[in-house]
Amino acid sequence: MTGQTRIWTPIDYDADGKQSDCLRLPHSTDLSAYGWVPIPLACIKNGSGPTALLIAGNHGDEYEGQIALCKLAREIRHDQVSGRLIILPGLNSPAVAAGRRVSPLDEGNLNRSFPGDAAGSPTQMIAHYVCQVLIPMADIVVDLHSGGRSLDYAVSALVRPGRTVEEHEKLLRLLRLFGAPISFVSDGTGGGGLTTLAAAAQQQGALVLTTELGGGATLRKEGLALAEAGLKRILKDQGILRDLATQPASPTRFMTVKGHDAFVYAHSRGIFEPAADIGDEVVGGQIAGHIHFPDLPTREPETLFFATSGLVACRRAPSLTERGDCLFKVMEDIDIGPDRASHA
Ligand SMILES: [Zn+2]
């Protein structure tokens, strides 16, 4: 994470009021030699106080967060804020415009690109700007994801394990406040490890909450409603939003993902027939699904099994499947102790 960012914006992060414009990501092409790609940005500030960095569109084909953040940016008046809201509803904007997980400019997966590179590809430059400019301003970071085109997810929120007991307690409290039906603690085994925005923000000392609000590149109403209500609860609790009615959080079920056995992968190319759906309770050894081979009609399908017991957190959305595709992820309950949310 060295070098000076080449991204700039007319938005003054220190100015009071509501500003709406964009980041300018330099991108030089045949038809736009000195051009830039816009990344939408709203900043709502009123006096001193904590800063919340709210992000969606880190992956372009995940929609609940994009809409929730646009609604928030329209709805919140600056006189309802104590501190600052920095809202980016479509962070990897080329991916958002293309309706894709990754950027069509460089095939970059933004949430595998942290801490980024000031002189790198467009996606690496975005990650670098987030790391070097945005995260250092933030006390709390919420990065809203869903499953995208390839996965359908149970509506859930997640945090990385806290680096201290105190941080872990604060993160569990955030999960209770957000109020997703399922909350899970994950070290990123299935995906990004330390290359994610959440990991980068946590390393810089911010409290970080992430979500999975639906998937399949469509919109789940339940996930959108949770994003709107959960964000308001958290921002009000942090003292950043005031004079705003919020509904109490619903109880959440704390779960975790335990290693690679929690995942079911395809071993062959074919058509995936799932034998379970998201939200189902399954046991280890149970049939997870079959891979069919329609080009060889008499060939027996491959049968896949769950390796662990628990709740089906996500399921592959497309039927056509390649060897190595993730078909299911299973979560297990964890005991996180008595509810201390109301006392913190
Ligand atoms: Zn995502």
CA of 149 from ligand 1 middle (Å) equals 10
CA of 109 from ligand 1 middle (Å) equals 9
CA of 342 from ligand 1 middle (Å) equals 31
Q: What is the pLDDT, as a whole number, of residue 194? A: 86
17-256: CATH topology is Aminopeptidase (3.40.630)
Q: What is the pLDDT, as a whole number, of residue 336? A: 77
CA of 62 from ligand 1 middle (Å) equals 6
Within a 10 A sphere around the Cβ of 180, how many other Cβ atoms? 26
CA of 210 from ligand 1 middle (Å) equals 9
Q: What is the pLDDT, as a whole number, of residue 344? A: 33
CA of 48 from ligand 1 middle (Å) equals 32
Residue 186 binned pLDDT confidence (cut-offs 50, 70, 90) = confident
Q: What is the pLDDT, as a whole number, of residue 296? A: 94
Using one digit for the tens of pLDDT, what is the confidence trace for 243-268?
A: 888 999 999 999 998 888 999 999 99
CA of 306 from ligand 1 middle (Å) equals 24
Supply the mean pLDDT for the chain: 94
CA of 79 from ligand 1 middle (Å) equals 32
Q: What is the pLDDT, as a whole number, of residue 54? A: 98
What's the whole-number mean pLDDT along residues 20-36?
Answer: 97
Q: What is the pLDDT, as a whole number, of residue 191? A: 66
Using one digit for the tens of pLDDT, what is the confidence trace for 226-243?
A: 999 999 999 999 999 998
Residue 192 binned pLDDT confidence (cut-offs 50, 70, 90) = confident
CA of 294 from ligand 1 middle (Å) equals 32
CA of 293 from ligand 1 middle (Å) equals 30
Least confident of 6-10, 188-192, 227-231, 234-238: 188-192
Q: In the chain, what are the domain boundaries?
A: 17-256, 260-333
One-letter amino acid at 94 equals P
CA of 143 from ligand 1 middle (Å) equals 9
Q: What is the pLDDT, as a whole number, of residue 342? A: 38
* pLDDT of 38 above 70: yes
Q: What is the pLDDT, as a whole number, of residue 108? A: 97
CA of 80 from ligand 1 middle (Å) equals 30
CA of 213 from ligand 1 middle (Å) equals 10
Using one digit for the tens of pLDDT, what is the confidence trace for 118-156?
A: 999 999 999 999 999 999 999 999 999 999 999 999 999
CATH of domain 260-333: 2.40.50.100
